[in-house]
Each structure stands twice: as structure tokens, then as C-alpha cells.
Copies of this chain bind each other. A is one copy, B any other.
Amino acid sequence: MTEVAAASARVADHLRRAILAGEIAPGEWIRQEEVAERLGSSRLPVREALRILEAEGLTEHERHKGARVPSLTMHEVDVVYRMREQLEQLAISESIPHLTSADVRHLAELQGRIEALPKGDDAAVADFLELDREFHLSSYTGCTIDQLTSSVTRLWNSTAHYRRTFVTLTGPGRRWVINAEHRLLLDAISRRDVVDAERTLAGHIRRTRIELGKHPEIFTR
């Protein structure tokens, strides 16, 4: 009774974290029995969890073969970034009117932690990715449209692996650009300037997409 918080949800949480952290690479098969044993449950909640993750864009399912993290081509990632560019403009404009000043302070604090990260440290890559994701997704907490927030989250999820590879590869060289963009976005949000926020955000995503396009070696296919 204390916390029966749904075995399937617990399994889903565990796998989601593992996938986003890169512990499960794209293309790698996920064996139901192994996961069940590791987490001390039967295979059934694992099956449910894999369906949940599939809905979140983190896994794909093949009949009688199992589930795995999808691996994307460069063009697919490019299009996903174009989708983000459009949808996240909508998300930020829906979100801003509902954001409290506490929300804005939280965002500022996140950005502060991003700037405080040690440079050149490989271990900081994981921290940066997590904070960056947290920063952007937190800026959409005011958006009450479930379809929109879940779509945006799906897009972030499906490209997490390539974002990590990219950041690891390029290092913190252009980190200052991201910080500048985040600061501008933060300023627009705190002034409740929807148009400015949309434009800054769109530019931020577009530039990231173009930078990604300069590194085709990230994509195996």
C-alpha cells in the first residue's frame, strides 16, 4: 500500500533512463526475460513497459523478434529537427502565458548549472545533456495540450542518442553559442515575449540541426 506505483511503470522508467543515458545503443535487442530478471518482476510488466516506451518513441517493435532502440539515418534526424523547429514554437507560445515566476526562476537556475559545468570533462557530457533536456522541456510545462507536449517529448527521445554522440564528438567548443541562445530565450520568456521566444527557439533548433548535418560520421547507415 505504501508505494505500489505500477510495476510496468517502474520498468518503463528504468528502461527509459537506461536508453536516454546511452546504456542501450540503437539496434541492440532488448530481451524481455533478462530485463524481468534484473528488475525482479515477471515478463508481463516488461511487455507493457516496452509498449509504453514504443509510444514515447524510444523503442520499436518487431513481431517475434523483439524490441530495440530505433537507429535513424541522418536525413531522419534532420526531419525530426525540422519537426521540433515547428512544434516547439507552438509549445513555447502555449506555455509562456501559464508560466509562473517560480517556473522562470527554475529555468534560470537550470541554465546557471549548465554554465557552471566543467569544460572538457567527458563525464560532464551526460550532465549537460540531462540539464539541456530538462531546461527545454521545463520551458513547456505551461503548455496544457497533451498532444503537443507528448509529441515534443517523443522527438527529443528519438534523437537522444545522436545528440549525445554529437556532443561527445565536438566537445564544449561551441557551448558558448548554446549558452547565449539559452540566455536570450530565458530573457524572452521572463518578459513574456511570445514572438521573441518563438524566434529565438526556432533559431536555436535550426542551428543545432545544421551543426549536426556537418557530422555525417555520427550516423552509421
Contact = CB atoms under 8 A, between A and B. Distances in A.
Total copies of the chain: 2
Given A48-B47, A147-B154, A147-B158, A86 B76 contact: no
A87 interface: yes
A82 B79 CA distance: 18
A43 to B, nearest CB: 12
Interface residues of A, number: 28
B86 A87 contact: yes
Given A6-B63, A63-B6, A76-B145, A151 B83 contact: yes
29 contacts: A6-B63, A47-B48, A48-B51, A51-B51, A51-B52, A54-B55, A55-B55, A75-B145, A76-B145, A76-B146, A76-B147, A79-B94, A79-B145, A79-B148, A80-B145, A80-B147, A82-B90, A83-B90, A83-B147, A83-B148, A83-B151, A86-B86, A86-B87, A86-B90, A87-B87, A147-B154, A147-B158, A151-B151, A151-B154
Kindly list the 9 A-B residue pairs having the minimum CB-CB distance in the complex, ordered from nearest.
A55-B55, A86-B86, A51-B51, A79-B145, A80-B147, A76-B145, A82-B90, A54-B55, A151-B151
